[in-house]
């Protein structure tokens, strides 16, 4: 997984398919757990899922864990580039109503910046 600091306030996580997905989310959670420097806030996060082709129940739980961490920090989370198979899983589980989705990273960046 690539973690890109797009700015001081936005982190982009390019997630991979399993078996790396779980490790990617764990790495992201460790990064979010790091205390920000004085005067800095936790970042908004974009999860780029363009390489993810399947989600299992463990992956869904991990996504919810990330959402909770970001929400507790008062920051925004965007999920983007979700393919049809993954979208079907999200719709079936009702998580399409829990997360905010965008078509791609650019749209996610614009969405976060418009809410600022």
Report pLDDT for 35. Answer: 57
Distance of alpha carbon 51 from alpha carbon 53, whole angstroms: 6
All structural domains of the chain with their residue ranges: 2-115
Name the residue with tokens 């997905």. 21
Instruction: Specify burial of residue 103 (Cβ count, 10 A radius: 0-12, 13-18, 19+).
Output: exposed
Tens-digit pLDDT profile for residues 50-91: 999 999 999 999 999 999 999 998 999 999 999 999 999 999
Report pLDDT for 114. Answer: 92
Closest by Cα among 32, 105, 15 to 73: 32
The two tokens of residue 53 are 């082709």
CATH architecture of 2-115: 2-Layer Sandwich (3.30)
Tens-digit pLDDT profile for residues 27-40: 999 998 885 665 66
Name the residue with tokens 């809410």. 115
| Predicted model pTM | 0.93
């Amino acid at each position: 997984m690539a973690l890109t600091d797009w700015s001081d306030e936005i982190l982009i996580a390019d997630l991979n398919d399993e078996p790396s997905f779980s490790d990617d989310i764990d790495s992201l959670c460790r990064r979010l757990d790091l205390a920000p420097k004085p005067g800095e806030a936790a970042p908004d996060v974009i999860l780029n899922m363009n390489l993810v082709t399947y989600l299992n129940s463990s992956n869904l739980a991990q996504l919810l864990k990330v959402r909770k961490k970001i929400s507790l920090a008062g920051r925004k989370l965007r999920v983007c580039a979700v393919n049809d198979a993954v979208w079907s899983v999200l719709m079936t589980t009702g998580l399409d109503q829990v997360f905010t989705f965008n078509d791609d990273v650019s749209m996610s960046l614009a969405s976060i910046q418009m809410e600022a």
